[in-house]
Amino acid sequence: MQRDHRRKAPVEVNFFTEYGEGSRYRIEEVIGKGSYGIVCSAFDTHAGEKVAIKKINDIFEHVSDATRILREVKLLRILRHPDIVEIKHILLPPSRREFRDIYVVFELMESDLHQVIKANDDLTPEHYQFFLYQLLRGLKYIHTANVFHRDLKPKNILANADCKLKICDFGLARVAFNDTPTAIFWTDYVATRWYRAPELCGSFFSKYTPAIDIWSIGCIFAEVLTGKPLFPGKNVVHQLDLMTDLLGTPAAEAIARVRNEKARRYLSCMRKKRPVPFSQKFPHVDPPALRLLERMLAFEPKDRPTAEEALADPYFRSLAKVDREPFAKPVTKMEFEFERRRLTKEDVRELIYQEILEYHPKILKTLEGTDSMGFMYPSAVDQFKKQFAYLEEHYGNGVTVAPLERQHASLPRPCVFYPDNNVSVAQNQAGVTDNLSKCCIKEIEKPQPDRNCGIPMTRVPIQVPHRAQGAATSKPGKTVGSVPRYNNCMTAEAYEQRMMAKNPAALGHLYPRRNVSCKSDRGENEGIEGSNPVQPKPPQYIARKVAAAKGGAGNWY
């Protein structure tokens, strides 16, 4: 078997755009291009092996194309078998919600079966047998997972110079979730016409089985034997004509079982044809190979063998060991829940990102427990909902527990202090759910310069008064904010900001004098953790200060 010598093409300079992991791969040559993107051979400097990197451009331009890519990467992650191509890695996009391209790293295969058939006219019967054995072994694994490939053809069979074959391209594959697969998901394009089963050409039956893939394997095997396609139909009608030229006109009983009225009428009106003996069509092929080929190309699906039955055929007596051939567990409905609903572009983007994370276990582990459709770091609203739900659940059971802490270091952590210095920390934590009105939230202390005094100040704990809580409970739906500290310096700053927002020209003539009382703020606030929180000034005091400010007084005290 000759090696496929592909013409080298210049490598694009910007193959990896913003993907940091791209530095791990050394691009060597372009080995394929198409409407989907580009495929390059590369050397993985970490693993020390050659790989194929498939760059898919603008995958979210059409939701149907993005769904096909999602289906393929998901199935190739689930179906791990020596006769199925393996995804080794998928590069992590720089942005979870804005990426458009993906880079899928496959094991490098040298060619495909189409090129092998075209370039090699010296294949031996041993080649034929080994090729078919690998295809049926891989197909057995796929079918035991309740997956139908639906697009088997020589170009979707990768090959190496050592005669190793691997099935690829699962973009049109579907999963059946019951024992009798129905036609609900067969309404779109399936299989290249030359390798399409008769029931798919004429919609003969309302229910399809894995026999559609067996027919495709039979067509591929016949092409390996002769070096040219078996049924190269120009359209569906011509395709049926070529099939019946070899297999003969279907029997009346078979035509009667065809559900499609037009297809049944066409087959009934077709002129009677006698089947051509396979020994005449393939004169130089071993009889055991022809007998198995004839079984796989039966017109009725029920007459075709399963992949497991085909492996047990006498043709593989010296090669196959059916008991040792691996089989897969059926794919669960949860894995392909997206097939049952209409997806938006953002839905598919998130699902593809989740698949990419499967190849980044460390990042996936850090994100466990977060909402799959949420942000990388959950918002504060989501965290507050979890905290309140946690408190309500345990409070209803009569259990006193501390509230949940935030999970991510990038988010600020709240500090809870209590005004009662005589109570221990453990007692304070135990009493969180008993009386939430006694606690106050204190942010991390950061020195802040005071514009009036020029002396750095420290934020003071904010205490929620009982009256504000009572007002909130008496008027449902009303939001009650926390009460600020009403000492002289902070009142001046806050009032100035409010006046500037309301009327920027109103404060043009106000120049507050230096407040002597600010000199002691630094010393008083440094020990705030060991003292009681500062109480707000009485309402009458605040009213007098506001009235004085409205009167145009230059003093703020």
Query: Does 449 reside within a domain?
Result: no
Neighbours of 264 (CB within 10 A): 16
CATH for 352: 3.30.200.20
List residues bridging with 52 in a β-sheet. Answer: 41, 106
Query: Does 204 reside within a domain?
Result: yes
Q: Please, are residues 110 and 4 in contact by the beta-carbon 8 Å criterion?
A: yes
Burial label for 348, CB within 10 Å (0-12, 13-18, 19+), is buried
Indicate whether this model's pTM tops 0.75: no
d(C-alpha 111, C-alpha 442), whole Å: 66
Across 120-260, where does the E strand assignment appear? 147-148, 157-159, 165-167, 174-175
182 and 318 assigned to the same domain: yes
128 and 56 assigned to the same domain: no
In 3D space, the residue among 489, 537, 495, 545 whose CA is nearest the CA of residue 517 turns out to be 489
pLDDT at 151: 92
List residues bridging with 147 in a β-sheet. Answer: 175
Q: What is the mean pLDDT of residues 432-438?
A: 47
List residues bridging with 89 in a β-sheet. Answer: 105
172 and 52 assigned to the same domain: no
pLDDT at 130: 95
Given a cut of 70, whether residue 134 has pLDDT beyond it is: yes
Q: Please, are residues 339 and 185 in contact by the beta-carbon 8 Å criterion?
A: yes
List residues bridging with 38 in a β-sheet. Answer: 33, 55
Residue 406 pLDDT level (bands cut at 50, 70, 90): low
pLDDT tens, 246-257? 999 998 888 887
pLDDT at 264: 82
Q: Hey, what are 43's tokens?
A: 């050397």
Q: Hey, what are 385's tokens?
A: 């909902």
31 and 80 assigned to the same domain: yes
Query: Does 233 reside within a domain?
Result: yes
Q: Looking at per-residue confidence, does 416 or 294 come out higher?
A: 294
Chain centroid offset of residue 531 CA: 53
Q: Please, are residues 80 and 63 in contact by the beta-carbon 8 Å criterion?
A: no
190 and 261 assigned to the same domain: yes
List residues bridging with 165 in a β-sheet. Answer: 159
d(C-alpha 271, C-alpha 526), whole Å: 103
d(C-alpha 314, C-alpha 331), whole Å: 31
Q: What is the mean pLDDT of residues 86-104?
A: 91
88 and 144 assigned to the same domain: no
pLDDT at 237: 86
**What percentage of residues in the chain have a pLDDT greater than 90?**
37
203 and 88 assigned to the same domain: no
Domain span at 266:
112-324
157 and 58 assigned to the same domain: no
d(C-alpha 190, C-alpha 196), whole Å: 8
pLDDT at 267: 85
pLDDT tens, 348-375? 999 999 999 999 998 888 876 554 444 4
In 3D space, the residue among 136, 327, 278, 307 whose CA is nearest the CA of residue 209 turns out to be 307
In 3D space, the residue among 37, 47, 171 whose CA is nearest the CA of residue 108 turns out to be 47
In 3D space, the residue among 40, 56, 36, 68 whose CA is nearest the CA of residue 101 turns out to be 56
Given a cut of 50, whether residue 482 has pLDDT beyond it is: no
Q: What are the distances in angstroms from CA 356 to CA 26, 344, 352, 360, 440?
A: 21, 19, 6, 7, 43
Q: Please, are residues 486 and 542 in contact by the beta-carbon 8 Å criterion?
A: yes
Q: Hey, what are 456's tokens?
A: 């750095």
Residues 6+ positions from 272 with CB-CB distance below 8 Å = 249
pLDDT at 497: 55
End-to-end CA distance of the chain: 97
97 and 135 assigned to the same domain: no
116 and 44 assigned to the same domain: no
Chain centroid offset of residue 282 CA: 47
The three-state secondary structure class of 441 is: strand
**What's the structural domain count of the chain?**
2
pLDDT at 33: 81
Residue 182 pLDDT level (bands cut at 50, 70, 90): very low
Residues 6+ positions from 177 with CB-CB distance below 8 Å = 146, 333
Residue 399 pLDDT level (bands cut at 50, 70, 90): low
Query: Does 540 reside within a domain?
Result: no
Is residue 151 annotated as a catalytic residue, yes or no?
yes
294 and 194 assigned to the same domain: yes
pLDDT at 81: 95
Mean pLDDT, the chain, integer:
74
CA triple 514-515-521, angle to 5 deg: 125
The three-state secondary structure class of 84 is: strand
In 3D space, the residue among 285, 284, 246, 249 whose CA is nearest the CA of residue 268 turns out to be 249
Residues 6+ positions from 504 with CB-CB distance below 8 Å = none
Q: Looking at per-residue confidence, does 471 or 396 come out higher?
A: 396
CATH for 203: 1.10.510.10
Catalytic residue among 112, 151, 169, 521: 151
Query: Does 417 reside within a domain?
Result: no
d(C-alpha 140, C-alpha 230), whole Å: 23
266 and 355 assigned to the same domain: no
pLDDT at 521: 45
Given a cut of 70, whether residue 463 has pLDDT beyond it is: no
List residues bridging with 5 in a β-sheet. Answer: none
The three-state secondary structure class of 82 is: coil
Q: Please, are residues 348 and 71 in contact by the beta-carbon 8 Å criterion?
A: no
CA triple 280-285-290, angle to 5 deg: 75
Query: Does 423 reside within a domain?
Result: no
pLDDT at 447: 52
The three-state secondary structure class of 50 is: strand
Q: Looking at per-residue confidence, does 239 or 479 come out higher?
A: 239
In 3D space, the residue among 514, 495, 509 whose CA is nearest the CA of residue 452 turns out to be 514
Last residue of a domain, which of 366, 399, 426? 366
In 3D space, the residue among 297, 262, 263 whose CA is nearest the CA of residue 277 turns out to be 297
Q: Looking at per-residue confidence, does 11 or 315 come out higher?
A: 315
Query: Does 403 reside within a domain?
Result: no
In 3D space, the residue among 381, 330, 374 whose CA is nearest the CA of residue 353 turns out to be 374
Given a cut of 50, whether residue 163 has pLDDT beyond it is: yes
Query: Does 517 reside within a domain?
Result: no
pLDDT tens, 9-18? 455 446 665 5
